[in-house]
Structure 1
């Protein structure tokens, strides 16, 4: 008799998630099966929930996965049963296209998205290609590690690949589930860090996590505030609203960067405002499995941890609805 497992599925686009029982999947050639101990809930789970990006429903969401290798498919030579691992947004690449041959795996023409291209971590078990799996260091428990597989690696990669160096002024716009991790990474990298948020409710926490300065965006224009501080070398925007992103450009110093993570609204800025001080607006997102490993290792080295709230698998809908709750990363515990 085939063993079964509990999963949460997006079954109808735009409708609530549904708890279901399905067969435990077998790993095919080149793939590993992961016993999921924790899976973060992310705004990116809107993609399978709504059937975006060609997602075929039903689909099991979840791309912030932490667990243990449970079984190996034929030809797997990178992993052993019992390895502690994570699986993030990056779901594997073809390894043969021009981008992959240059090492630019995130732009693979046939890249996969975990929880969209194939079933993700709102489940007791999931299967992923071996190149999509990241090794997890000791020192992180599974619920702490899970949000690092998307929110963590996104913040870490954007900051370390910016033009900023130790002592430079950088700003984190938005102090929520991703922003509270970005402030911690920025502090650990040696930046002079400014947290920008609506109101002052989060000011004490922002400073406790490493912010040197705090800007209340309801009391002052954040671009003007940063300009008065001498300008930021980089601004990491986690709010993803075009009007707010546009206003931040004024807060950059010459040669500064606005690092944008998402957003459907147009960003309005004149060529003159970009050219005169040689500013740039750059898109950033997630990272591949090696990036995730480096994020996890750095988090252990510098004691960076997400603020989390945990839920059992059968409360996945509630966890998803609570995504807007301040400073929390919701994490499902499927086992």
Structure 2
């Protein structure tokens, strides 16, 4: 499914399949997740690689063909590929295990045709092995939404029993609530309105706050404050007020972004030893960690599954706010 002109719809096209180059593999796609970042890919007016554009950076499937110089992988292996779709391997971030921040990183859908297709060809260093007990449909969102939320909570280094607030209960947030709860934390879910209160409890949240009520940060403070606020919603406006809910040495981690700015009272950060930080995603090794944790602790994305040829409908549903949790396209 590709966009062939600026502002055009996604439509099916046929592309010749070539043997993978050395260090690359061809994957028969089982599921392709639909992520908020795909909206930018689909809406690009002047893509770096030109048209057509095939989006999709949450991919699961089965290796079909391997190129030369590929070791450790065989046709038939079940694999996932995420936003971190390859790196140079020799820069300082790569050499220190931080391939996500490689300046020459590859992103499926941007650096090469993405996963909204019958097959996709990817660098071997982008592959993550899917555990036997995880379905390929559930594995696809783990390559971006899953690994991003899992590593953001894990890397905060909180002891079990800490209190974690998740701002936003959509495609990212519903996974963040599950991961935080399964890690042994007391979880506060914050979302607009009260319509998702029941869902938040089913995901493992212990408290629910309406983000449209005045001062959600002070509401967190009345609960006793939190050690981590994970902002998954692409809305920068409420972030400053959420700081009122942080405990001493608390951390606010930004995942969802909208291009806005955040006004931060510096004195409060200094006096309370608090941290505001951003978090991008995880490496293929992190994706494997995420999937293993998910299988061990029964964390699953809540999916709406559509056939691949309805990719344009999926993008419209996501853009219009009609996709509640996670969409996947299946060839």
TM-score (norm 2): 0.95
- The question of 1:267 aligning with 2:262 is answered yes
* 8 A contact 1:172–1:236 mirrored in 2: yes
| Residue 304 of structure 1, aligned match among 295, 299, 304 | 299
Q: How many angstroms does 1:15 deviate by?
A: 2.8
* 8 A contact 1:171–1:195 mirrored in 2: yes
- The question of 1:96 aligning with 2:93 is answered no
- Summarize the Cα distance change of 1:55–1:220 in structure 2 as closer, same or farther, 3 Å threshold: farther
Kindly report which structure 2 residues correspond to 1:208-223, keeping only aligned pairs within 5 A, or say none. Answer: 208-223=202-217
Q: How many angstroms does 1:55 deviate by?
A: 5.0
- The question of 1:29 aligning with 2:26 is answered no
| Residue 226 of structure 2, aligned match among 226, 229, 232 | 232
- Summarize the Cα distance change of 1:283–1:314 in structure 2 as closer, same or farther, 3 Å threshold: same
Kindly report which structure 2 residues correspond to 1:249-268, keeping only aligned pairs within 5 A, or say none. Answer: 249-261=243-255, 262-268=257-263
Which whole-Å CA distance do the structure 2 matches of 1:239 and 1:283 have between them? 13
Which whole-Å CA distance do the structure 2 matches of 1:199 and 1:308 have between them? 22
- Summarize the Cα distance change of 1:55–1:221 in structure 2 as closer, same or farther, 3 Å threshold: farther
Q: How many angstroms does 1:62 deviate by?
A: 0.3
* 8 A contact 2:98–2:283 mirrored in 1: no
Secondary structure at 2:165 match in 1: strand
Which whole-Å CA distance do the structure 1 matches of 2:276 and 2:62 have between them? 39
Q: Which residue of 2 aligns with 1:5?
A: none
Kindly report which structure 2 residues correspond to 1:200-211, keeping only aligned pairs within 5 A, or say none. Answer: 200-211=194-205
Q: Which residue of 1 aligns with 2:311?
A: 316
- Summarize the Cα distance change of 1:293–1:305 in structure 2 as closer, same or farther, 3 Å threshold: same
Deviates more, 1:188-197 or 1:13-22: 13-22
The answer for unaligned runs of 5 or more in structure 1 is 1-7
* 8 A contact 1:66–1:87 mirrored in 2: yes
Secondary structure at 2:208 match in 1: strand
Q: How many angstroms does 1:63 deviate by?
A: 0.7
Q: How many angstroms does 1:220 deviate by?
A: 3.7
Kindly report which structure 2 residues correspond to 1:43-192, keeping only aligned pairs within 5 A, or say none. Answer: 43-51=36-44, 54-192=48-186
Q: How many angstroms does 1:326 deviate by?
A: 5.2
The answer for unaligned runs of 5 or more in structure 2 is none
Q: How many angstroms does 1:165 deviate by?
A: 1.9
- Summarize the Cα distance change of 1:219–1:48 in structure 2 as closer, same or farther, 3 Å threshold: closer
TM-score (norm 1): 0.94
Deviations 1:92-137 (A, max 9, x none): 1111112211221111121111111111100000011000010000
Q: How many angstroms does 1:14 deviate by?
A: 3.2
Q: How many angstroms does 1:186 deviate by?
A: 0.6
Secondary structure at 1:19 match in 2: coil
Q: Which residue of 1 aligns with 2:328?
A: 331
Which whole-Å CA distance do the structure 1 matches of 2:49 and 2:245 have between them? 38
Which whole-Å CA distance do the structure 1 matches of 2:251 and 2:48 have between them? 32
Q: Which residue of 2 aligns with 1:38?
A: 31
Which whole-Å CA distance do the structure 2 matches of 1:125 and 1:135 have between them? 17
* 8 A contact 1:180–1:327 mirrored in 2: no
Q: How many angstroms does 1:250 deviate by?
A: 1.3
Secondary structure at 2:14 match in 1: strand
Deviations 1:58-104 (A, max 9, x none): 12110110100000000000210100000110011111112211221
Secondary structure at 2:299 match in 1: coil
Secondary structure at 2:15 match in 1: strand
- Summarize the Cα distance change of 1:189–1:61 in structure 2 as closer, same or farther, 3 Å threshold: same
* 8 A contact 1:78–1:130 mirrored in 2: no
Deviates more, 1:13-22 or 1:77-86: 13-22
Deviates more, 1:325-334 or 1:201-210: 325-334
Deviations 1:215-251 (A, max 9, x none): 0122342101111112111100011212112221111
| Residue 275 of structure 2, aligned match among 280, 298, 303 | 280
